[in-house]
Structure 1
Amino acid sequence: MKISSANIPEEQSGSSLGSFTDTNSISGDSDLDAVCAVGDQNEVIEELKTTIKRNLSQISDLGAKLKLNEIHLAYQKDKVKDKDELIRVLQDSIELIKKTNKIAINQVQKSETGFGTASNDNNFQKQKDSLESITLKDDVNNLAAQLKEWKCQAKNSDESHGKDDHLEKLQAQFDKCKKQNSELMVELDELKAKIIEYQKTEDGLRKQVSELEDNFLSVSAKLKESCEKLSENTLDIFSSSNKKAIIPLNYTRNPKIRVIERDGMQPFMAVIEDIPSAGSGWMVIQCRIDEDQMTFGVEKEAKYRDGFGDINKSFWLGTDIIHKLTTSQCHELYIQLVDFDNVSAYARYDHFEVGSREEKYMIKSLGSYSGNAGDAFRSLQNAPLKLVPINKSLYFWWLNAQTNCNLNGTYKNATRFGFYWGSWSLDKRGCILKSCRMLIRPKPK
């Protein structure tokens, strides 16, 4: 194939394994978020347990103090009862003393009537004064002693009332702590229920992670097996084991360009692409980019046989190369299409084979179709490659009586000789295309 020099664009490509790894990375982050949430709940529960233990200790101390105060209160109540009894006894004693004094005075008055002299009057008066003095003195002493005792008891009673107030405060504090403890117990029960729910969720996530790991191992094993099979059937884009790989001079900026060496064929350069949805190792055999709008019309038939165009832009790899590759082993065909609304679609065939020059490079096989562009290429099966003269130039395409697509046609031409894909048609003219690529690779066994 003859190739013109041009700048080499940088392109990006993905792989199925990269996409799968990104998906599993996102699931791992969700799982780590769920596990961190469970750890925070455990810390909150431990703090609540510590607070509950501290409150229970305070409640126990307050209960002990309350019991002591109740004992002291009972003692003070007994003392108050004794005081009331003592007051009653003293009142009785006072009444008795009054009665005794009255009786003594009556006796003295009776004795007074039996005496008539002044001396007797003086003695009686002395005895009366002495008796009254003794009686009053005793009453005063007794009352002073009782008053002193009452003051002591009143003081103790005031202290008892103060302790009663303190006891009431302790009781109020005890009730408050008890209420807080009840609220904490309710909150603890709610947290326990949430923990159980989180544990169930965690168990479910662990199960899902385990299943994902098993699936990942299974997919990895299958991918490895597929890669090994693909490596056995992919084009050998490097030199044989006895030779070093040929470097494509002036094309080293594009790592996708390789020098291909195959048995019975002259070395040639080709673009090797990876398609994220279809795997790696695809060789581009035809490319039309809308920017350069290069016509696929040529002056001689040999151009299509040997190839033409710029391998960095629009080109045709060569019909003779396509024939030799597809007949050496079973190949797949992948067609990428883009319209002027920048909508892309693809058509894929699992057994693509092109005949020899003597067979007019007829499409001998397409195999099964898959994709979302429609099976328009099926209309070309068993069709020979024919010469079509347009505007004093020649271009080649596989033509049948019913041809539903033309990927080598004239750019922006709405006829059957234009650049179109018929299965996208909204009318009988077909859909005019903006760009396309045709790629092949050995079919994995």
Structure 2
Amino acid sequence: MQCVRRWLLAATLVLLSVAGVDMEYLQADNLNLLPPDEHHSVLNRGMRVLPRDCHEMLMTSSGKARDGVYLIQPGDLRIVAYCAMQEGGWTVVQHITVNSSVDFDRTWAEYKNGFGAVTGDHWLGNEYIHQLTRGPGRYKLGVKLVDREAVTKTGEYDPFLVEGESSAYRLRLGLFQGSAIDALTLDTENYLHDNQRFTTKDRDNDNYFQNCAKLEFQGVPGGGWWYDACAGANLNRRNVIYWQKDCNKERLCKYAWMMVRPSDTVKLIQSRDCKKDEL
């Protein structure tokens, strides 16, 4: 079934390129994350059969898709997302710049539906991250950190799942590997983020006696996150990107990204299934 879907997507791309099809109006559930003057920048605008995520879009294009904004459809929702194609077809779910002009001190509803701009600093939205990671198949989380000296550290958690709103978008993480520190699944002084529910300034689900999202550093609140009591990592505090020893107030980081794509195990199984279908 996965291979048939890819053939349909590829055929659609060919037809669109020949006919020059375009949509008069861009339709997406999170269109607020793309400024009107950037609607033209959606690279697969007019595509009738949408890919589920950026990795599927990359595979459909035979690896030729370039970095940029795409329409994808995880579940029943059509959304715009930034795709890091050159890095392997990752769907970006969060980007932050230290001292960003985008305010990450947001409400539950705003974190649910997303805010910012997918071409810059943003949070894609808990509901969309849930739709992406709930399957079918396993997904993994990629974290990318860049410090002031342009030193980049990365890490991956496989598998990665964000549960639905009824579970307060609980975070589920698997094994970690990478050059960055494992700041989410190692229990350091009650900072175990794995299995924690999401907390915002108007909905306290953490394990601290105060609301962690409201606690300030240099006058800036923590922002929404999967807090414990409170944090060994927090990529939504815009004055200090925090990831234990990798990013903190002494070792300032300039940028941070969170991205998702199918796990390597899922891709291997899909590749084998495609080869069987070709026999």
Give the TM-score band, short-chain normalised: 0.5 to 0.7
Rounded to whole Å, the distance in 1 between the matches of 2:220 and 2:154 is: 32
What is aligned with 1:321?
128
What is aligned with 2:11?
none
- Choose which of 147, 170, 182 in structure 2 pairs with 1:375: 182
Rounded to whole Å, the distance in 1 between the matches of 2:225 and 2:104 is: 10
Matched, 1:287 2:107: no
**AA aligned opposite 1:424:** D
What is aligned with 1:340?
148
State the SS of the aligned residue for 2:132: helix
Q: Is the 8 A contact 1:309 1:316 kept in 2?
A: yes
State the SS of the aligned residue for 1:399: coil
Matched, 1:408 2:216: no
What is aligned with 1:268?
79
CA 335–303 in structure 1, closer or farther in 2 if over 3 Å, else same: same
CA 232–324 in structure 1, closer or farther in 2 if over 3 Å, else same: closer
Unaligned runs of 5+ in 1: 11-230, 241-253, 413-418
Q: Is the 8 A contact 1:335 1:346 kept in 2?
A: yes
Segment of structure 1 superposing worse, 335-344 or 314-323 = 335-344
**TM-aligned CA deviation for residue 355 of structure 1:** 1.2
**TM-aligned CA deviation for residue 236 of structure 1:** 4.3
- Choose which of 54, 68, 72 in structure 2 pairs with 1:256: 68
CA 232–361 in structure 1, closer or farther in 2 if over 3 Å, else same: closer
Rounded to whole Å, the distance in 2 between the matches of 1:233 and 1:408 is: 23
Q: Which residues in structure 2 correspond to 1:91-130 (within 5 Å)?
A: none
CA 382–291 in structure 1, closer or farther in 2 if over 3 Å, else same: closer
Matched, 1:433 2:253: yes
Rounded to whole Å, the distance in 1 between the matches of 2:228 and 2:125 is: 21
Q: TM-score, normalised by structure 1?
A: 0.40
Q: TM-score, normalised by structure 2?
A: 0.61
Rounded to whole Å, the distance in 1 between the matches of 2:251 and 2:184 is: 14
- Choose which of 105, 116, 119 in structure 2 pairs with 1:297: 105
Q: Is the 8 A contact 1:234 1:442 kept in 2?
A: no
Q: Which residues in structure 2 correspond to 1:33-432 (within 5 Å)?
A: 236-237=56-57, 256-263=68-75, 265-276=76-87, 280-290=88-98, 292-298=100-106, 300-328=107-135, 329-364=137-172, 366-378=173-185, 379-387=192-200, 388-389=213-214, 395-401=223-229, 403-412=231-240, 419-424=241-246, 431-432=251-252
**TM-aligned CA deviation for residue 349 of structure 1:** 1.3
Query: RMSD of the TM alignment (CA)?
Result: 3.2
**TM-aligned CA deviation for residue 291 of structure 1:** 7.7
**TM-aligned CA deviation for residue 394 of structure 1:** 7.9
Deviations 1:307-327 (A, max 9, x none): 110111101100001111111
Rounded to whole Å, the distance in 1 between the matches of 2:177 and 2:231 is: 19
**AA aligned opposite 1:355:** E
State the SS of the aligned residue for 2:150: coil
Rounded to whole Å, the distance in 2 between the matches of 1:3 and 1:437 is: 16
**TM-aligned CA deviation for residue 407 of structure 1:** 0.2
**AA aligned opposite 1:331:** Y
Q: Is the 8 A contact 1:237 1:259 kept in 2?
A: no
Deviations 1:275-325 (A, max 9, x none): 54xxx2210000113484423122x32110001101111011000011111
Unaligned runs of 5+ in 2: 1-29, 42-50, 61-65, 186-191, 201-212, 270-279
State the SS of the aligned residue for 1:345: strand
Aligned residues: 196
**TM-aligned CA deviation for residue 4 of structure 1:** 4.3
State the SS of the aligned residue for 2:225: strand
**TM-aligned CA deviation for residue 340 of structure 1:** 2.1
Rounded to whole Å, the distance in 2 between the matches of 1:393 and 1:376 is: 20
Greater relative contact order (Cα < 8 A, sep 6+): 2
CA 398–262 in structure 1, closer or farther in 2 if over 3 Å, else same: closer
Greater strand fraction, Structure 1 or Structure 2: 2
**AA aligned opposite 1:337:** L
State the SS of the aligned residue for 1:258: strand
Rounded to whole Å, the distance in 1 between the matches of 2:141 and 2:257 is: 10
Rounded to whole Å, the distance in 2 between the matches of 1:313 and 1:234 is: 17
**TM-aligned CA deviation for residue 410 of structure 1:** 3.5
